[in-house]
A and B are shown apart, each in its own frame.
Chain A
């Protein structure tokens, strides 16, 4: 259990980062020109409500004290009220989490499937036509704007063929699967080139490693060597890359949710920016940052489970 000790002390290392993240989100709202209370409550708030809010957030106090109030409120799940939805930010944000999580999971599933198929095909046919095609896909794919790809898929699969809906989240699990297929595919097509490039290179170099030759000389079947040794050892760098790219993935969902009008956190963030609903923007920024921090922690644990040599 020695090597899992980091599960205990790693969260302690996360404290300074969490502190910094809270400072930055706090400063973001401070930078908005104008009276923050007016921004929080909208222009039609009564004098009593304004006074009460001022007291609750300590806005008549020095900046450092204000930050203290911000943290105390935050720890109680109090992130202010949305001026557009006239409800607590936590509630507004909470309602939008499900579509984004569904989209992320779906996109991840499609990306990994695509990556495995492409990388394994390319590595097996190294230097030949399938490999060349995969490499072209990887180079060109890196430069394809995801929002545009989404629109092209809509033009083809929704408008021309009518197979998939143009936008929305749908009803029930199968409805979600149907509605979110194109958005997830879009994200997968944008993410797969990065992962495929990495996995293909690792597969090829692992396939030439000494221990693989040793396994061959023992007469083990190729398919067994590939599954048990080559693939298993190649997946770890790709998994780490996926962890690094998780932050990018979240950014991708923001744009793709807007393209496909998926009622998730990303589209809420964009509409809140234009509605000047700053506390919702602040809340979502914080949620996304937390998601990235905890995903990286999770990836570290999984890496340590897959590869006992990793010391954290």
Chain B
């Protein structure tokens, strides 16, 4: 199968200039990625901030005279089984989903970086203990461990953040630790030590700022993963609770009516895709600009 695809194009000429991309156009293209990502993300932030002015209806108000309205002039994206306006719910949902993405990344980011720097800088027993803890955490499927923790703490967004903080730190710890392991032998750290700076000062002021780049780049990708995770959990019933206008909740509510009111499910999902796309592009653009692999 693969051979045929190859033959049809004839042998590849390895001296063809298109094989090795010249540096200049590549640099310009990554800027487009970065800017598009930034624009989409800023747009979502704006929607979240201005939700009360943008939404044409109250996202929670029932209107039993206008249930299951198809998308049209009155309700651009239709209404649900209680007559609630889908567009207004989507707009207010931005607040919850964006908050999930940001807080769900922030706590693991902080914890993971602290553990990564401590582990990398001190080495020895500290490193061994922390890294075994990491091995054990990643032995569980991420999603399964998160829902197991939420099942114990009880459904809701607070449990979601706690579970993520307990499980999500591993990626950041690993990334930052590997950076610190290399950096701690470099001359400027040695100089700082000779100056008699305390370990805390060396770690905070000298190691962390230089080691944190890969973690920052990954955090953008992580926002995508966390938003997907959060909306999945809300869909299952373990995350945001109805009647909250969270996108996963809206999809779950719509699933019973897919035969008659497809718009209840389709639009909230598209919103997730677009939010995720913004952060994905941001991650790709940042990775290329900062020269790290996401």
Chain A interface (Cβ within 8 Å of chain B)?
16-17, 20-21, 23-25, 28-29, 31-32, 116, 120-121, 124-127, 139-140, 142-149, 151-152, 154-155, 159, 207-208, 213, 216, 221-224, 226-227, 231, 247-248, 250-252, 254-255, 258-259, 269-270, 273-274, 278, 281-282, 284-285, 288-289, 292-293
Contacts and interface: CB of A to CB of B under 8 A. Distances in A.
Given A207-B12, A213-B14, A223-B6, A289 B141 contact: yes
B2 A231 contact: yes
A35 to B, nearest CB: 15
Contacts of B140: 21, 24, 247, 285, 288-289, 292
A292 B139 CA distance: 6
A23 B12 CA distance: 56
15 contacts: A20-B133, A28-B148, A31-B153, A32-B152, A145-B232, A145-B235, A145-B272, A146-B232, A208-B20, A227-B2, A231-B2, A269-B144, A285-B145, A292-B139, A293-B139
Contact of B135 (A20, A32, A269, A284): A20
Interface in B133-149: 133, 135-136, 138-145, 147-149
Contact of B255 (A151, A255, A288): A151
B141 A121 contact: no
A273 B265 contact: no
B2 A116 contact: yes
Nearest to B20: A208
Given A145-B228, A251-B144, A292-B139, A126 B18 contact: yes
A76 B5 CA distance: 55
A151 B258 CA distance: 8
B232 A154 contact: no
Which 8 pairs between the two chains have the least Cβ-Cβ distance? A143-B276, A251-B143, A20-B136, A223-B3, A148-B269, A247-B141, A273-B151, A250-B141
Nearest to B258: A155
Nearest to A256: B232
A226 B12 CA distance: 11
A214 B118 CA distance: 48
Contacts of B243: none
Interface string B191-229: 000000000000000000000000000000000100010
B280 A255 contact: no
Contact of B237 (A20, A144, A208, A274): A274
A140 B7 contact: no
Contacts of A278: 151-152
Tell me which of A23, A120, A223 has the highest count of chain B C-beta atoms within 10 A of its own C-beta. A223
Contact of B251 (A144, A148, A282): A148
A269 B279 CA distance: 31
B136 A21 contact: yes
B269 A152 contact: yes
B149 to A, nearest CB: 7
Contact of A120 (B5, B150, B236): B5
B65 interface: no
A292 B7 CA distance: 40
Contacts of A254: 143-144, 147
Contacts of B149: 28
Contacts, number: 179
B141 A147 contact: no
A16 B2 contact: no
Contacts of A255: 143, 232, 235-236
Contacts of B147: 254, 269-270, 273
B294 to A, nearest CB: 11
Contacts of B148: 25, 28, 281-282, 285
A74 to B, nearest CB: 16
Interface in B226-271: 228, 231-232, 235-238, 248, 251, 254-255, 258-259, 262, 265-266, 268-269
B43 interface: no
Given A124-B9, A223-B2, A142 B269 contact: no
A285 B236 CA distance: 17
A142 B141 CA distance: 18
B12 A20 contact: no
A282 B147 CA distance: 11
Contacts of A231: 2
Contacts of A17: 135-136, 139
Tell me which of A143, A258, A285 has the highest count of chain B C-beta atoms within 10 A of its own C-beta. A143
Contacts of B2: 116, 120, 223, 226-227, 231
Given A139-B277, A148-B272, A273-B147, 16 more contacts: A20-B135, A21-B136, A145-B231, A147-B235, A148-B268, A151-B255, A155-B262, A216-B11, A223-B2, A226-B2, A247-B141, A247-B142, A252-B143, A254-B144, A281-B148, A288-B144
A140 B236 contact: no
